[in-house]
Structure 1
Amino acid sequence: MAVTMIKMGLIVAVLGIVSFAFGIAAEVHKPAAGIPIMSRNGVVMCKYPSDPTVVYGYLSFAFLVASSLTGFLSVFYPYKGKSVPSSAFLQSTLFVTFFNSTLGAIGLAAALLLWPTISGQQHHNNNMYENLSSASGCPTAKTGVLGGGAFLSLNSSLLWLVCLMLASNARYDFLEDLSGESKAKEATTSGYNAVLEKGLDNIFDGVE
């Protein structure tokens, strides 16, 4: 099955949507509040209930990485066996602008997804606290951040689609210029050979 830009674009979009879905699921569930249990030595142990937020957060990040790698590959992939140098894409100011914007969105999305996810995991693993106030309760990860990361993850996949369309235009222009140069060179070579053959025929005719 041949790899086409449309297929690659669909894969990027699907991975971005799945990343968005897991990020929203993590935001909807929100980190569960722990139950503080006071020990004899003044250390408070927080007992957290089972919570899928951490798992959803890591899954959202994993699909963000998959979408980003697929998007990057789709831009520079040699479709139909015709590779195009990266300099051909960098000549387009619009492509460079959207490409850098996409990388920025990916980095920010990854930060927003990982920060509360890792914090939530640390709260579950390191659940012993000293001088914990009963009013504040057990610490939980920041809410609202995962939703922002999910939306940025979806936006990054849409930006990859824009980059892919701009890359398609850059590929077409480069291959057209390359084809034109090849045809011009072939025409020049053919003309030179024709003149050379005619000159040789004249020489042989004079000898005869």
Structure 2
Amino acid sequence: MGADLFDRGYLLIANQKDALALRAQAADGNDEPCHNRSCQAIYMDLGATRWEARPNSIGQAWFYRSYEQRSISMDRLLLWEAVPVSPPSAIFAQLPKELFHKYQYFNIPAGTDYSDASHPVRLLKSIAQAADFVAFKLDIDNYAAENSILSSLSSDAAAAALVDEFFLEYHVNFQPMVQLGWAGTVDEKKKLADAFKLFHSLRKLGWRAHSWV
């Protein structure tokens, strides 16, 4: 039998033990590691599509459930999707009602102008604390925008220190993936070797950085 190219079983996602270890490290002996509130688990998704996605795609629910299965319950979800959803009520049609209070969906492109207060990295810095668990997914099928956002995130020491787990669909010029759907969205200057170099550099930041398809 052939391998399923969309099988995500290879991903070693963080579990509660990992999250608690990260929290203890960030707390550095402080009995109150998060100021003025309980520590949280935060999921940010740039390229969020829907709660339940079409076949051979992954929606927000996959991430939420995968973390739940590992005893990490997300306290807050911030999501961006550039493709207009019509009617807007469809955004929430599949969302379990008990999660409404956790859910913020922006049906607009994720901004790349860091001077704008709505830039995702600026929002992350405004809501997250060092001892929170933060998972950040970047998959907007626009390599120029992705590179800009990733640069803002990884080059800002304060922002980078907030990220614990990171998912990126890095559209390099790799023919098998170009033939499967990346055509017209790849950075022609980047090859598979560049992807390995990038993820190695992100892991050196302390992120659990995953290549995402």
**Structure in which a larger fraction of residues adopt strand:** 2
TM-score (norm 1): 0.22
Which structure has the bigger radius of gyration?
Answer: 1
TM-score (norm 2): 0.21
Bigger relative contact order (CA 8 A; separation at least 6): 1
